[in-house]
Amino acid sequence: MLDLRQYSSLGAALKDALERWPNETCLIEADRDREKVRLAYSDFKEMARPLCRALEDADFKAGDRAAIIMTNQSKWLISAYSIFFCGGVLVPLDYKLTAAEHLQLLAHSKARFLIVEYYLWRAITQSPEFSKLTTEIVLVTEAPVGAELRGAYRWEEFRRKGEPQFVARQREDTACIVYSSGTGGRPKGCVLTHDNYLEQCAALTAWYPFWPGVRYLSILPTNHAIDFMVGFIGPFVCGACVVHLRTLRPEFVRDAFVRYRITYVGLVPMVLKNLERGLRAKFDELKPKKRWMLDRLIALNKMLTKKRPRVQLSRRLLPQVHKAFGGELLALIVGGAFTDPSTLQFFYDLGIPVTCGYGLTEACTAVTLNDLKPFRANTVGKPLPGSEVRILSPDGDGIGEVAVRSRAVMSHYLDDPELTAQTIVEGWLLTDDQGRFEEHGHLQLFGRKKNMIVTEGGKNIYPEDIEAVFDGLPVKEYCVFAANYVWPQKSLGKEMLMLVVRLEQNQQFDDRLREEIVARNRRLADFKRVGGYLVWERDFPRTASLKIKRGELAEQLGKGGGRDSVVEI
């Protein structure tokens, strides 16, 4: 791989990677069972050159911000590279957000340029807030012939001839502005520097190296912190190949493992759980004698790999299982949310190491990772090289707030010095997550202090962002909480949002009110919906400016009843 210590920016490292491995395949784009694109590093460079030149001609300057809203595809990576080549700042936005949320984040980030997939651009142009769009130039990918683009350009036609001029950046310069949640409320733009990314990449590849011939299966969105790093930056600076799969249907995911002989894949717990269900179902279909033999071989593999993975041995003991994953899989990388230890252990016992990690957008990607020395299913691993982790104010069980210090920690929150000062104190990132170190130096997590949940799909959801949908609800007042915030548990598991309502005097909670709550809840994306409601008998505590004191209200709710008082929707 490239020696990242020699580079001052992502653009410089990626530029050298394209020149160092011209004949290696860098990118494969597959849609279901059909391969759409296959690019060598030299092909990638040739596709990016006219876009870089066109951006240059459009007066895209060092430090200018350009947003990308796109599903996984080659154009995402080509666009991101071109932005870095021209010295720009990348703003990767989650394509699953609503058009209104996209417009809000485009305004907050002050993005001059936008690169967006056609169906997403169409939704944005139909939004009532579209007239407020301040982005100067919009490039739309995959637009049908004759489609009305409302002043935008076709990505495929936005190109100029000639050799573009590379724009150098320094390590302390901003590389990306990454939003850690969908934001109906207060936008949280994490400002991440080139130094953050280069240090994070060096740390990750020290434990899990890539090299020419490695194939990484990319099924998470590229805007996701995990996939941006291990599904783009990491493979490219090592001469490896990224396989983009534009579907999450289990049968096509399974086929991709075999067809492309995948080496690594990054997953969120929900996808890992689906793979586990599929394997268990196949095991259950075996005839009794074959099932007995399989169970004995799994038990033997478990005994022989107790202290460390022995992948070659596991492939010989359980060849059919490993062939189902392509026969060359070295590890599944999982993070973004709580993962059931039994699921991690299930794969490890099959000889498929699962490296579970813990990270935050504010810390670039990962803070800890399981180095498999030894494998610990109930932890999120050890601090990565260059990362320091402390447990603040531990209780009698050693559990306290996790604090992080490293060169991968963000510079600040965009235009929010107050929140930055609350979050980074004397160089330490205060995570609000509760944890402790166990005997092998691995970090165990035990819940969250903050009023936030992380879905199985790895998405951060702040309850404040949900409340706008319930605006005008015919009650005196309401508030949305994460149940685990109100009733902290010294364990991690399924997390749920709940709606707390305070009724007007003499008002009854009737079927009509319940139906309205259910109807409003349905307007939200599945992963943002509240799971239940609770009727509270007292007025909410408020500040002098009439803001709800969430911490104080949560304390009252916690003392006033248990989780069983929440009525499921």
DSSP-assigned beta bridge partners for residue 214: none
Question: How many independent structural domains does the chain possess?
Answer: 1
What's the token pair of residue 159?
A: 């190109």
Residue 111 lies in a domain: no
Per-residue pLDDT of the chain (569 residues; tens, 9 = 90+): 999 999 999 999 999 999 999 999 999 999 888 999 999 999 999 999 999 999 999 999 999 999 999 999 999 999 999 999 999 999 999 998 889 989 999 999 999 999 999 999 999 999 999 999 999 999 999 999 999 999 999 999 999 999 999 999 999 999 999 997 543 456 899 999 999 999 999 999 999 999 999 999 998 889 988 899 999 999 999 999 999 988 877 788 889 999 999 999 998 887 888 888 889 999 999 999 999 999 999 999 999 999 999 999 999 999 999 999 999 999 999 986 667 888 999 999 999 999 999 998 999 999 999 999 889 998 999 999 999 999 999 988 898 899 999 999 999 999 999 999 999 999 999 998 888 999 889 999 876 666 666 676 667 676 766 887 887 799 988 999 988 888 877 666 567 889 999 998 889 999 999 999 999 999 888 888 999 999 999 999 876 545 688 888 988 999 887 888 899 98
Helix 10-20, helix 74-85: angle, nearest 10:
120
What's the token pair of residue 38?
A: 């296959």
Strands, E assignment, 286-442: 331-334, 354-358, 368-369, 382-383, 388-392, 400-405, 412-413, 424-425, 428-437
Question: Terminal CA-to-CA distance of the chain, rounded, Å?
Answer: 52
Sequence-distant (≥ 6) Cβ neighbours of residue 144 within 8 angstroms: 118
Q: Residues of 510-539 as b/e, b for ≥16 C-beta within 10 angstroms?
A: eeebeeebeebbeebeebbbbbbbbbbeee
Residue 546 lies in a domain: yes
Q: What pLDDT score was predicted for residue 163?
A: 95
pTM of the predicted model over 0.75 = yes
Which phi and psi (to 5°) does residue 133 adopt?
-60, 125
Residue 283 lies in a domain: no
Residue 400 lies in a domain: no
Sequence-distant (≥ 6) Cβ neighbours of residue 421 within 8 angstroms: none
With 0-12 / 13-18 / 19 or more C-beta atoms within 10 angstroms meaning exposed / middle / buried, residue 172 is exposed
Residue 477 lies in a domain: yes
Residue 506 lies in a domain: yes
Residue 564 lies in a domain: yes
Q: What is the spatial distance between Cα 386 and Cα 450, in angstroms, rounded to a whole number?
A: 26
DSSP-assigned beta bridge partners for residue 60: none
CB 480 within 8 A of CB 466: yes
SS3 368: strand
Query: Which candidate, 361, 415, 4, 19, places its Cα nearest to that of 171?
Result: 4
What's the token pair of residue 326?
A: 């392509």
Residue type, 155: W
Q: What pLDDT score was predicted for residue 3?
A: 96
Q: Determine the longest span between alpha carbons in the chain, in angstroms.
A: 75
Q: What is the spatial distance between Cα 456 and Cα 337, in angstroms, rounded to a whole number?
A: 6
Nearest-5° Cα angle at 228, 426 to 191: 35
Sequence-distant (≥ 6) Cβ neighbours of residue 340 within 8 angstroms: 269, 273
Q: Cis before residue 488, ω within 30 degrees of 0?
A: no
CB 436 within 8 A of CB 399: yes
Sequence-distant (≥ 6) Cβ neighbours of residue 429 within 8 angstroms: 360, 362, 363, 403, 404, 405, 409, 410, 423
Residue type, 287: K
CB 173 within 8 A of CB 188: no
Domain residue limits at 486 = 461-568
Sequence-distant (≥ 6) Cβ neighbours of residue 519 within 8 angstroms: none
C-alpha distances out from residue 126 to 97, 99, 120, 146, 468, Å: 15, 8, 10, 18, 20
CB 464 within 8 A of CB 480: yes
Q: What is the spatial distance between Cα 374 and Cα 163, in angstroms, rounded to a whole number?
A: 50
CB 278 within 8 A of CB 254: yes
Residue type, 389: V
Residue 215 lies in a domain: no
| Helical segments of 261-399, H only | 269-284, 288-304, 311-317, 319-323, 341-349
Sequence-distant (≥ 6) Cβ neighbours of residue 156 within 8 angstroms: 141
Residue tagged 């130039």 (tokens): 137
Q: What is the spatial distance between Cα 272 and Cα 334, in angstroms, rounded to a whole number?
A: 8
Element (H, E) at 555: helix 550-560
Give the CATH number of the domain where residue 467 resides. 3.30.300.30
Residue tagged 């991440």 (tokens): 192
Residue type, 30: A
- What is the secondary structure of 242-292 as a DSSP string? EEEES---HHHHHHHHHHHT-SEEEE-HHHHHHHHHHHHHHHHTS-HHHHH
